[in-house]
Structure 1
């Protein structure tokens, strides 16, 4: 490849839904509804957890972080998807594509580590209840959350820089809903095998390490819960952990299948469907999974709703 042709692409065209133009209005309405529910749901959880003093505990501190993360995660992709559904010009600048990929990877990586931290919190609360306030003190919780966010930022910065320093000289059409790693790598005008191996190794570390830690924590939790004599105690412990396990299964399952499967089994349509699920649907589901099944959160929500209802009369 001649040097003059290196990195001549200044923008990309995103055409993830090009095969179904007649469904554009329906897709716009669907994505808009999902995005609205995501914003309202996660913002409500954040507000309730912030306003209710009884919920200022480590578990809800991490849940507040997760809700903020999901709100941002959805905002990285859905507004651009909505814009492309309405606009004739479906382009995104080279820098814009790199920025979108960075935040997508940053928030996804942070969520992997955050879910593992939340599993450790449940392990500490159930397996070491007497030492729990000392183990999960405020300083440690803030430090663990900071490490999750910092790790996500640094790992994603390196991976994104590694990809976008490749030469891109055309074509520039991304057959996807947003700038994700596999469809962007396909457009590079160079051998990307080293990038693919490096990305795979990074994804193994990011996905499997927290997943193993999460499973280890819940294996110990299950062992402890099964030894409890109180039926009500077992029910409450399993109920608390069930929500987290549901979220973990959805997120790790879809992300692992997408980034850790062999390239030979890569399917563009399956990839697009999975990407939409973990980047658009999962952020909407988490407030429902964690909140509607949680009596404390629902009680705090009703309490806050009552205060807002009678506020004008005060």
Structure 2
């Protein structure tokens, strides 16, 4: 016996990836529904590589009764309007937007990091999926924190345009083409040209000079991993289609060597250590596309602080940063609570 699963925002980058991963991981489903906005009603989307096509249903008229799990990948607006309706009908919502992440009654889950937190989902019948840049970072931090206790993290991100959706990917493509043919570039999705450029600005600016994306990394890391950890983030959009990279420097309470860190990361769930100190002995975003792992390279000691480690972290943001983590949450929910399949 399987679950009845609805994927909301099924025509978007993350929604399509959710459908692909559900099929790829053979998630036990008796029925799956593709749900989208009224303008996408009737649009067909494929259930991964199964060859099965799903016609999108209009979210405005969707009946949530009898559905077990809803994976929301439609943004904060639809999540605000429809997630509570789904939850009230008994359908557990796993939401990819930022709307519910800091709600104290909503668990914020990365299954490799804080699986026990999922037990609190019944308060709202909603579970939050973290920010893409946070998700990969905490997978890397968790085993190190367990060994030597993290005091402080300084992270600079190099985030791909797919984090801004299809419009971001289209803008990078069109601007790159325009440069080669000599056409004028007009930024639309981003505040400045993204082709052959980097933009130190993701989401809106806050009063302290940080951006909301940077704030998310701070508060989400504290909620998921440990409220005592201090985090400083600088989030940058780069001209890469898929795959987020992060340069992370970590200060620990206890002594830890680079060799110990490598050994820990090599054995940790969800991680792949590729760290050869030679040309090409590290992972770049192009190599991680389509993979569910979070890759770690360039592990070394930071001599500027006591008990410091620096590393390079890369992951497919559409997978571990969004769709895969949501499906892993659904799997965890099934194992611990729903008991089907």
Compute the TM-score of the two structures, normalised by the length of structure 1.
0.29
- Rg: which structure is higher? 1
More strand by share: 2
Structure number with the bigger relative contact order (C-alpha 8 A, sep ≥ 6) is 1
More helix by share: 1
